[in-house]
Amino acid sequence: MYSYLDKLNDSQREAVMTTEGAVLVLAGAGSGKTTVLANRIAYILQTRHTQPWNILAITFTNKAANEMKSRIEKIIGNGVNDMWVGTFHSVCARILRRYIEAEGYGRDFVIYDSADSRTVMKECMKEMEVDDKEYPINYVLRVISDAKNEEWLPEDMEREAPRDRQTATIAALYKRYRNKLIHNNALDFDDLIMLTVRILKNDPGIAEKYQAQFQYILVDEYQDTNNLQYKLIKLLAAGYGNVCVVGDDDQSIYKFRGANVNNILDFEKDYKDVKRVPLEQNYRSTQIILDAANSVIANNVKRLGKSLWTCRDGGEKISVLVGSTESDEARFIINAIKKRYENADRYGDYAILYRTNAQSRPFEDVLMSERIPYKVLAGLRFYDRKEIMDIIAYLRLIYNYNDDLSLQRIINEPKRKIGASTMDKLSELARANGAGFFEIANSADTYPEFGAAAIRLKAFTALIKNLRALAAELDIVELVKRTIEDSGYMDMLRNDTSIEAQTRIENLSEFVNAVAEFAKAPETTGGLGEFLENITLRSDADDYDENDDYVTLMTVHSAKGLEFPVVFVTGLEEGVFPGMRSEIDPEAMEEERRLCYVAITRAKDKLYLSRAESRFRYGTRSYSPESRFLAEIPKELLMTDGPMLSRIQQQVGKIGISFEAWQNENKYKKKKKDAAAEELVQFIAGDRVRHRKFGDGTVVSAQSFGNDAILVIDFDTAGTKRLMAVFAKLEKIVEE
């Protein structure tokens, strides 16, 4: 009856069959954790006399949730749609659709993505006359996100946080931002979880309902949970205590999003009698790739400890490519792809990974010049294109009249002669009357201030009301088609003869196809609200299709959860990967090392590691030594494959000496250069210095580099900078 268990290894089988109590499945990269989760759910349903709706399985992406449902369905057949399988955000949204009114919102709330949040905050700062140079929007939103992660409302932030001018300003911005969201009946991503936790804490009846319902709770990627997500699981698991978390402390890489690696490190302290099951057999990579990953991550201190192994002995050695510049690095990599492609069938086998999005340009330049198809995964998403966002704004306003943000986006798109002056009056009247933009516009003829514009405002609200009425009669595909046509948007594009307009028409056609696919999906009801929720909660990884045939470019963060036959990990230089800020923060350095571990373990068959000797950054060309992560890999696993070595050998050949003799001579020259460089290192850690542009700062470290020296300086106002001593022209500050 349980023949599917025969396909599992001993550790996987133990993780599947240990159904009661708290279980920590320590799943290494490529160890089959999705297989374990799917089989565990199937086993519970078949052996524990429970119902599908008594199981809660939480993932971090829609793609992972859908894959899990598909695998479970293959094992047990029907009943999958009755289970609660989804992301933290989608599960919380489902709960909030029933109980959010207790927090002052309506059940037809919309969800704002990060771009929407920025727009709202920009309005708040403008209204409060806060300088966005002194208070950058991203920084303010990050502080507010951190506050929500602690369950703080604005008044809590005012009370609990340090009392200073900056905190007071951000707390005031948080208050206005929250009020705008409530007014718009909108939630941001943090609200979805925070409000769910608040409701469960404040209403024991609701908490007990879900505690009784969820007899078995499974959480994927537990190492990436933040404080709120930890609290949510703790609350829901208080009923039966059957909670199984699957994760890998060595792959915790999202601290910048609030992830707390201590959630998985301390799991055995948080729950009683925890059963730990390590999954160390890797089904993805060769042993050489795993040995490299194990060697790098072993240098971290805060980890539970495991060592990956595979039956795929050996494999190709890891190639190291070194370019003089980032352009050389890109050319070497693309040439390696071209060479391998001659004996392969797909460009989709190759992935180029980098630490930050800004590093993609040299690779894109070479790929375009070589006419090699590629896609930047974390670039402009399909749903981020203007025409798609415009139609989504129409749909959100149809669904929720209180969504002022969406109204402002499309009230004059296409042009309706509703200009800035009219919008200013609309905003003033809405504020004065404590009403929404739509409500004021709908009764515009009662406000003399609008003059002739009142007719146009009324026509717009009539359009939206008519489409809302159609939403009750038509399926979502027909509603979207009618919205595109009735709004005049399609006519606007048809009347534009440019190539760009034709592309936008094609994109809208593809959008209709996407809506149709959503409507056909068995796990959806096909409702407008569900569709809007689904597209807002999509992640970069959800847009990746392994069947597409193009070279994939992405950050290592975006690559999490993916795998490729051939992977290029680029920019392995100190200050790039690991990043500069991690040099003064041991915990940040450990996360950078985990990020490198993730990058290495994306590769199945072949791994390339590359760096540039110099890189153009912040307007100047800078030189950096190789990354410590590269140095942590045993040399016997590496091979210098590449253009850099052959170019040196060619130069050596021209002057008629042996390569070994050239190496010895170079070592002698290097010693002399290092001795000269020592004279340039006039500063030591702790020295106070002054820079003509960055102001005063403290030297963190000083390191010889060729004929120069690298200084890492923590400036009082400009942050941490890496500077070359020759060009820095620093003045030492002598304390009186």
Q: Would you state the pLDDT for residue 545? A: 63
Average pLDDT over residues 245-251: 95
Tell me the pLDDT tens digit for each residue of 97-107: 999 999 989 99
Write down the pTM of the prediction. Answer: 0.72
Reading phi first (left if > 0) and then psi (alpha if -120 to 50, else beta), residue 311 is in alpha
Q: Report the pLDDT averaged over residues 118-142.
A: 91
Nearest-angstrom CA–CA distance, 713 and 697: 6
- Identify the residue whose tokens are 């086993």: 43
pLDDT of 225 > 90? The answer is yes
708 — pLDDT class (breaks 50, 70, 90): low
d(CA 124, CA 126): 5
- The C-alpha angle with vertex 628 and arms to 625 and 630, in degrees rounded to 5, equals 95
**In what side-by-side order are the strands of the sheet with 318-323?**
374-376, 551-555, 350-354, 564-569, 603-612, 318-323, 638-640
The residues near 515 (Cβ < 8 Å, ≥ 6 apart) are 476, 477, 480, 531
Calculate ∠ Cα 489-490-491, nearest 5°: 95
Question: 156-182: per-residue pLDDT in tens?
Answer: 988 876 678 888 899 999 999 999 999
C-alpha distances in Å from residue 38, one per residue of 44, 57, 218, 616: 10, 10, 10, 47
Over residues 535-581, the pLDDT tens digits come to 777 655 555 566 678 999 999 998 988 999 999 999 999 989 998 88
DSSP string, 665-686: HHHHHHHHHHHHHHHH----TT
Per DSSP, the chain holds a count of helices (H) and strands (E) of: 31, 22
CA dihedral 567, 568, 574, 578 (to 10 degrees): -30
Looking up tokens 């959008």, which residue turns up?
511
Strand 350-354 and strand 551-555: the pairing is parallel
Q: Given this model, what pLDDT does residue 651 score?
A: 44
In b/e form, how buried is each residue of 101-127, taking b as 16+ CB within 10 angstroms? eebebeeebbbbbeebbeebbebbbee
Q: What is the pLDDT of residue 648?
A: 40
> Which pair of tokens denotes residue 136?
């950058």
CA gap 707, 218 in Å, rounded:
56
Question: Is the pLDDT at 636 greater than 70, yes or no?
Answer: yes
Task: Quick: pLDDT tens for 38-56.
Answer: 999 999 988 988 899 999 9
Q: What is the pLDDT of residue 534?
A: 80
- pLDDT at residue 580 in the model: 82
Both structure tokens of 91: 């599960």
- What mean pLDDT is predicted for residues 446-462? 94
Residue % of the chain over a pLDDT of 70: 89
Catalytic residue annotation: 33-34, 220-221, 251, 602
